[in-house]
Amino acid sequence: MDNRVTWGKDMDDAVLFNGCIINQEIIFNANMNELRPLAGDGECISLNAPTARCLLLLLQNCGKVISRDEFLAAVWETRGVVVSQNTFYQNISLLRKSLVKAGLSEDIIITVRQKGFSVAPNTLVIPLSDEECKNMNRVTLTHYQNNKVVDFISEEKEKA
């Protein structure tokens, strides 16, 4: 069974959401800049705003390589902030460490040499509503997995 979720190749085709489940291991709540574990020994992580925006940009553009310039424009320049390349790379490094600390079992951020960054192709990203982000926990995940995850994967298969 192919569990990949791949969205549009253009930034205009980005899927908009405020949170998601990543690989059925952690929840990313974009409104709260927060990563929460769903299983295992992870811990709740508060991300700084730019790091959270980097993750959101990647997740909303699964299947697309996001260049450094696209990150800089979307994460900082739209807010009138100019940052160095070093600051950008520090945020990507912090994001990777935070995902693991929150309970993700593998690195989902792929470096595409001299092109940018992308979400790993077999990453399962399931969008959540604001309410689902707030209320999801380890107990409700089992029910959620038995219903919405299966429905979501079925819908994606039908689209393919």
68-123 pLDDT, tens digit per residue, is 999 999 999 999 999 999 999 999 999 999 999 999 989 999 999 999 999 999 99
126-154 tens-digit pLDDT: 888 777 766 665 445 545 554 555 555 55
Q: Does the residue 139 lie in any domain?
A: yes
Domain of 110, CATH number, reads 1.10.10.10
More confident residue, 8 or 42: 42
More confident residue, 16 or 25: 25
Number of domains in the chain: 1
Residue 2 resides in a domain:
no
How many Å apart are CA 30 and CA 56, to the nearest integer?
7
What is the span of the domain harbouring residue 55?
11-159
Give the separation between CA 36 and CA 39, rounded to whole angstroms: 9
**Inside any domain, residue 4:** no
